[in-house]
Structure 1
Amino acid sequence: MADIVPLTLDSEALRAELESTGVRSVECALGDFTAIARGKIVPTADLISAGGCKMPSVLFGMSTTGGAPMDLFGSVLPKGYGDMHALPDLATLAPRPGRRNEATVICEPTGRWFSSRYEREVDASELSPRAALRRVVAAYESQGLEASVAPELEMFLLQREEGGDGIRLCGARARPGAPAREAACEQYSLERLAHFEPFFDDLYAAAEALTIPLAGYQHEAAFTQYEVNFYPGKPLAMADAVFRFKRLAREIAARHGFLASFAAKPFLDQPGTGMHWHFSVQRSGEAWPHLFATPQGASTSALMHYIAGLQSHARGAMAIFAPYDMAFDRIVMNDASPTHANWGDDDRHAAFRIPASSGPGRRVENRLPGGDANPYLTVAATLAMGLAGLNAERLPLAGQHEASALPRSLPEALAALEADGALRKWLGDPLVDLYVAVKRHEHAERQALADPRREWDLNHLIELA
């Protein structure tokens, strides 16, 4: 496993920052395997004196629906549901949008306990998706490299309605008394977009308060679906941005009377929800730092090696890019959702696309992740896969039939993740084993229902994915 890179806290800097702003309480947010922000709100003085706050270790064993695989306790997690310490990352401290005298900060877990599975002490940070991303970024830095990433995130604006056949989903009405709902996909419609300007105005204002670097937005290629673009930035900052953005979108949509959903496939007859990430790599201290292109604008062998790494580990990574059974509806019933680990120049049907660009803008787009994917694990896995390819100096497979087929189900993808040595190396055995156990628990819970899609997917994932 990659070495643990502990998060550090300057207690005096925390005290000075909080006392200068005069906030009375701080929201401590922790990212687990779900898209749900877990945590608590504590008085400012308590946060300063404790250098964080306590949270139960069971949090990392919880599924989206709140269940937990009981065999994890005493094996990977503490048997007695012991506490861990949530350490705030001061770089993420910001005013909480819409709340006077309250701040918000992203935390990571610390604390140690003995694991019978690994016959050693496990640090709580080994279970943290955010800490895993920091480890991969540190590996890049150790080789004189740094990455830049930019996400594109799709979402549906929906409402639930009671009908004769139970609850059904329909397109959102922008406000009570607003014009009729969208009856068919109005792709790129500025008129339909204008109906939701109050929502997007509030969303962008809240994002600005949290320094989330949003760019443009548009109506996408599915019924009631919209895409929001982000400016590029450093991997950890951009994963933080997506983690926070999804929560903001859901909260602000609720205030406007509808739902913002990142579920992978709400409608079987419509395209699914994507979370596409663009990756470029630079070499520190070089006159021409851009690793993926020559000064003349040609793609480099390093870009090909990077893509080969993405291809080699895509099967295992699909358990991260498509974390629920519903996510595989997006793959199996695909509409520009790749089914093979192929690549292509400016090809939106490929898993790994090289957009047309100048040399400094040369990048590879990972089109596999869905909107329900964990941003920290998605970026960590993609960076690790690419680094493995750079170090191995392999060449990619070019055609659809040469590239390996992607898993067609969650159980198949979880088995591939379990067996992938490179992903285990960078994410760590405890995180991979815990993640697989939680996802198998969710799968079994879903399969036990008479109508899994209606009773599990549409009941839980529409608002929680």
Structure 2
Amino acid sequence: MTPHTHDLRLLSPDRQCLAELLAAWHTDEVECALGDFSSLARGKRLRAADFIAGLGCRMPTVTLGMGLTGGSPMEVFGSILPQAYTDMQLVPDTTTLRRRPGRRREATVLCEPAGQWHAPRYGRLLQAAELSPRAALRRVLQAYEAQGLAVKAAPEMELFLLQRRPDGGLSSAAPWRDAPVQESACEQYSLERTSHFDAYFDELYGAADTLGIALAGHLHEAAFSQFEVNFHPGEPLAQADAVFRFKRLAREVAARHGFLASFAAKPFLDQPGTGMHWHFSVQRLGADWPHLFARPDGRSSPELLHFLAGLQAGGPAAMAWAAPHDMSFDRVRHSDSSPTHADWGEDDRHAAFRIPASDAAGRRVENRLPGGDANPYLVVAATLALGLDGLQAGQPARTGRDAAPPLPRSLPAALDALAGSAALRRWFGDPLIDLFVALKRHEHQERQGVPDPRQAWDLRHLVELA
């Protein structure tokens, strides 16, 4: 499937079934949510009858050109996006329709953009879905299906629970309002410190259940006030949806408890950063032995090394999606088990791509490059696209850090690598790559224009929005 082919029939809702479901739920309002490049939920809330009548809602195309802070690179309007900020349709994927946690008569649904306009930069009509990270992931998964393959994915999300000091700095969160206890040094794997936040995690798990997010457990991680939440394995698009929704949910629940949940990549230079690690396994559909990455006798298969070779080849360019902000590279430069090369290793947490210890049926690849601030759709799509390239090329992975490609050490270098990647442009199309690069270069320039950018830009914007 080419980047310019978009089958929105996959999302087309049935008006009658939709009306019956919302009536059975006694739903008054529906929230249409669109994930942007920063994985913020943008969209509109409207009355259920209007949602049904419109089979979604309308939003201005400028939404696709907004950066994290709301600013836009003006050069993309009139070249990639319409100069006049015309409207597009948000088409709901009704398989994602859920009750909104804590809002008994409201529902929420994930949407993708639809519509077309002439894009002078490419001399053709551009489809809005070409600029959708979620639609990009769907296309990659269709390529796997065409090859008779299926993927299972399981994310691990790290987050900080924080509160702001009067001087604008950050400290560990008190577990409840006016609590006298506060973590002042890392209590890694502490059940006692974790139990202080039982009320927060109880509400978070309950809300995740409402949204169909299958959480497996959580623990205190390697930095003070840092926790890791694990997800059960599942289909990749559903898992990316789960992470997209989980990040917003974790922040909303934390705000109700009087503190912040943050996925910023490196809020403290002297503490480990925030990761978003993804585990992937590939299965052959209909095969007697479906597990592509291992042989029945337990040994790793040649296909595993081919998949890894694809990740290594595209790793430098994919870093722009794994580390989408300047602060993201603090996590790499001030490394604490954060990879600096596109290397791989058996059960090696310092490698970019780890092969966890497992039996043959559980053989999988863990991508340890993404930070907590990454867009889950782009991360999963790039990992699987590059892995499929490796499977088709059939080359073995390079072994050892010295043989592995070095990764970019700054956002501008990563954006240059992404802009020049023929492989990722082939998979995702010029418009998505060009718009993402323009947005992130705009944010980089915006950050460079303030004194003490880490304090005045990173901690101001990324702590609550990354």
Matches of residues 272-283 of structure 1 in structure 2 within 5 Å? 272-283=273-284
Give 1:182's aligned residue: 183
CA distance in 2, matches of 1:295, 1:13: 45
CA distance in 1, matches of 2:229, 2:32: 26
Structure 2 counterpart of 1:350, one-letter code: A
Deviations 1:40-88 (A, max 9, x none): 1111111111111001111110000000001101110011000100001
TM (normalized to structure 1)?
A: 0.98
**Aligned residues of 1:265 and 1:329 also touching (Cα < 8 A):** yes
- By how many angstroms is 1:421 displaced? 1.2
- By how many angstroms is 1:10 displaced? 2.5
For the pair 1:201 / 2:202, whether they are aligned, the reply is yes
Give 1:192's aligned residue: 193
Matches of residues 332-371 of structure 1 in structure 2 within 5 Å? 332-371=333-372
SS of equivalent residue, structure 2 residue 401: coil
Give 2:382's aligned residue: 381
- By how many angstroms is 1:351 displaced? 0.2
Give 2:138's aligned residue: 134
- By how many angstroms is 1:449 displaced? 0.9
CA distance in 2, matches of 1:15, 1:315: 47
Deviations 1:374-407 (A, max 9, x none): 0001100100010010011111110111101100
User: What runs of 5+ residues in structure 1 fail to find an aligned partner?
Assistant: none
SS of equivalent residue, structure 1 residue 75: coil
Structure 2 counterpart of 1:169, one-letter code: L
For the pair 1:155 / 2:154, whether they are aligned, the reply is no
For the pair 1:289 / 2:282, whether they are aligned, the reply is no
Deviations 1:129-161 (A, max 9, x none): 000000000010011111110000000000001
Structure 1 counterpart of 2:154, one-letter code: A
Structure 2 counterpart of 1:306, one-letter code: F
SS of equivalent residue, structure 2 residue 327: helix
Give 2:41's aligned residue: 37
Structure 1 counterpart of 2:30, one-letter code: V
Matches of residues 64-103 of structure 1 in structure 2 within 5 Å? 64-103=68-107
Give 1:114's aligned residue: 118
Structure 2 counterpart of 1:58, one-letter code: V
Give 1:5's aligned residue: 7
The 10-residue stretch of structure 1 (204-213 or 12-21) with the greater mean CA deviation from structure 2: 12-21
Structure 2 counterpart of 1:13, one-letter code: C
**Aligned residues of 1:5 and 1:131 also touching (Cα < 8 A):** no
For the pair 1:48 / 2:16, whether they are aligned, the reply is no
User: What runs of 5+ residues in structure 2 fail to find an aligned partner?
Assistant: none
- By how many angstroms is 1:167 displaced? 1.2
Give 1:455's aligned residue: 456
Give 2:303's aligned residue: 302
Give 1:229's aligned residue: 230
- By how many angstroms is 1:424 displaced? 1.1
CA distance in 1, matches of 2:177, 2:349: 37
CA distance in 1, matches of 2:226, 2:354: 22
| Count of matched residue pairs | 462
**Aligned residues of 1:5 and 1:134 also touching (Cα < 8 A):** no
- By how many angstroms is 1:296 displaced? 1.2
CA distance in 1, matches of 2:150, 2:331: 32
**Aligned residues of 2:339 and 2:350 also touching (Cα < 8 A):** yes
- By how many angstroms is 1:13 displaced? 2.4
For the pair 1:267 / 2:262, whether they are aligned, the reply is no
- By how many angstroms is 1:177 displaced? 3.8
- By how many angstroms is 1:295 displaced? 1.1
CA distance in 2, matches of 1:5, 1:28: 20
For the pair 1:217 / 2:218, whether they are aligned, the reply is yes
CA distance in 1, matches of 2:318, 2:414: 8
SS of equivalent residue, structure 1 residue 152: strand
Give 2:320's aligned residue: 319
Out of 9, 24, 27, the residue aligned to residue 23 of structure 1 is 27
- By how many angstroms is 1:103 displaced? 0.4
SS of equivalent residue, structure 1 residue 191: helix
Structure 2 counterpart of 1:157, one-letter code: L
- By how many angstroms is 1:450 displaced? 1.0
CA distance in 1, matches of 2:320, 2:204: 30
CA distance in 1, matches of 2:20, 2:145: 30
How many percent of aligned residue pairs carry the same amino acid? 63
CA distance in 2, matches of 1:398, 1:334: 21
Deviations 1:164-213 (A, max 9, x none): xx311000001134242111000000000010000000000000000101
**Aligned residues of 1:338 and 1:350 also touching (Cα < 8 A):** yes
SS of equivalent residue, structure 2 residue 155: strand
Structure 1 counterpart of 2:332, one-letter code: I
CA distance in 1, matches of 2:100, 2:138: 24
CA distance in 2, matches of 1:116, 1:8: 29
Give 1:435's aligned residue: 436
Deviations 1:282-311 (A, max 9, x none): 111111111001111111000000000000
- By how many angstroms is 1:17 displaced? 1.7
Give 1:446's aligned residue: 447
The 10-residue stretch of structure 1 (436-445 or 3-12) with the greater mean CA deviation from structure 2: 3-12
- By how many angstroms is 1:89 displaced? 0.5
SS of equivalent residue, structure 1 residue 154: strand
CA distance in 1, matches of 2:415, 2:163: 32
**Aligned residues of 2:59 and 2:88 also touching (Cα < 8 A):** yes
CA distance in 2, matches of 1:116, 1:195: 56
CA distance in 2, matches of 1:428, 1:145: 23
- By how many angstroms is 1:15 displaced? 2.2
**Aligned residues of 2:177 and 2:257 also touching (Cα < 8 A):** no
CA distance in 1, matches of 2:7, 2:370: 26
- By how many angstroms is 1:425 displaced? 1.4
- By how many angstroms is 1:19 displaced? 2.3
CA distance in 2, matches of 1:240, 1:60: 18
Structure 1 stretches of at least 4 aligned residues deviating more than 3 Å after TM superposition? none
CA distance in 1, matches of 2:374, 2:247: 11
Structure 1 counterpart of 2:397, one-letter code: P
TM (normalized to structure 2)?
A: 0.98
